[in-house]
Structure 1
Amino acid sequence: MYTMFSSNTAKNRYTAQVLAVVLVVIVVGVIIALALISRTMGNSRRVEEERSSGDSIRVADTVLDSIKDITLDDLATWGNQQVSPCTDGNFTAYNFLTDGCELNGLLDFESFTSYFGLDEYYSSVEEALLNECGYADIGSTLGGFKLSFQPVGDDDPIEVDKDTVFAFIPGADPNSACTNIIINAQPIAAGNEQVGVVYIPLYVQLDTATGQVSAYKPHEYDDIVGQCVNTAASCSPPEWVGWEDSDTQYVAPLKKTYSSEEYALYEMRIRPIGGDVSVTRSYLPDGCGGAESTLFRVSTTINCSGNSRGKEFIISDQEWAPAIFDYVLFNGQGTLENR
């Protein structure tokens, strides 16, 4: 009896161990399966988000493409039409976009594109929003699609990409008490505390009758300034040797004298080297009146399936010299020289 009892006990123990192993295998298998399912679902969500994000960017590109050849004069004329969603003083004559203007939804955009004969752009945006972004009808796009026009104030930062040229007309009132303009350039990238910035001011004489440029001030050595702007310590790498060391600011006079002739600052051109910068403007002395806004921000925001993306560009109410005239010879080691 004792032997039989021991044999049954051992058999039961082995059976229990086998069941335990099977249960462990099942549990581990379920955990692995759940992990794989979760990962697959996560990947699917990421793919869907990336697709929706890509759709948003693509639609934003189409919207901005539709207005790239429209001038501010055209916008002002359109804004004064009764059919425009941007009336009530938002587009007062030649005081462009004083309060700004925003188109909200496809109905507003349809009015805008119809006025300028841009029906093909409207059709493309409508198709994308309804078929790809999940909107049920035109009315449901309210809040999911916005196109805005806003003036760029002196304190509004403007991002300038490295190795590109950003130009603007200072626009200071020649009868104001302002004597200098301050350009504040801040490195954008995290950890990128040192960026080179080339400042190219253009001084001119204007025809009093027409207001057009009648003469440019002859070039002088100190007209073009190369600065290493930084947010921490001074600029120490060898590629910045000979450059002016600045915390972030560049100050330029609004007027210069050359051979007894007075010239006014007509245009400021900014070229970052080695990193992107955020640029703001101000005038000295404080409270002198500053300038009228001559820069305007055109931006669009698209929401596709919960993913909102936007794009923008800056336009001016005045033309400036083509960027083909901007060049900098920079070998990463020597000093900046004007030739």
Structure 2
Amino acid sequence: MNMNRRKLCLALAAVPGLGVGSAQAQSWPTTKPLRLVVPFPPGGNSDLIARSIGQQLSTAIGQTVIVDNRAGAGGSLGTGAVAKEPGDGYTLLLGDIATHVINRLALPHLSYDPVRDFVPVARLTSVSLLVVVNPNLGVRSLGEFIARAKAQPGKLTYASGGNGTPSHLAMEMLRARTGIDLVHVPYKGSVPALNDLVAGQVDVMIDGAATGLVKSGRLQLLAVTGERSPAFPTAPTMAEAGVPDYQFTSWHGLFAPRGTPADIVNRLGGELEKIVSQPQLQKQFAELNIRLTAARGQAFTGFVESQRQSLAKLVQDRNIQFES
């Protein structure tokens, strides 16, 4: 964990907790701790979000929240495990764009159905990915990069965290919207891909983990894929940079297994809305290019379904193959 993350974790511990009065009047969740499954390894954004939000949720409901990292297969192993748990409010999932949108497209034998097997509790974040290049490429804007790519079709390379990752699909969306011809170089994760981008082994990447490298000047930021980034407020959106029909937003959200009672889902959702609205917490996550935002009910369900349809169309139109 880098210095910024250590500082953030220490700062999160000082954020005032929420009241627990109403929790004592209900039978849930007094019998045992809650388990919040993160289907990704420790140390990443999902893990950090789960631990900080989990700490606040624990205070709010008056019960321990234990973070359980169950990584593997692009998040599908941990997600599939939660899908098999009883809907009693004691097992929750921190899902994201991979577990509930992309995996359904990329993995032919997915062990869970993201719609049928889960109840959406609340969306927690909105993350605009960063379009970054090696500074030695000599472009300082997205327009310059697109012009370079069109002048040299098939010559420039783009890195991704692997086939079927957000970084892969986000770049394929840019290729579809602009007609540029780039060579895909998939890696096993964002970190090695970004390392090679810094080293000049590849030319461009779209990813959410490049914040520190941009701030240190090792990568050049051209644009962001969704709304303006809280970490880089002057960086243009794709529309502002000349690609008006482009929108790609990563996100995280809390889900419960199918059958979880509505009163528990509503209680959790209400507490999470209060948690993510805390200005100090929002400011701390903004430094990592993570915007905290709450959405519940149809607002959350509709957003995820719209993204599923959009990316399914992209995969079909581009004939994207997910095999390594």
Common fold: TM-score over 0.5: no
* Structure with more of its chain in helix, by fraction: 2
Interval of TM-score (by shorter of Structure 1 and Structure 2): under 0.3
Larger Rg: 1
* Structure with more of its chain in strand, by fraction: 1
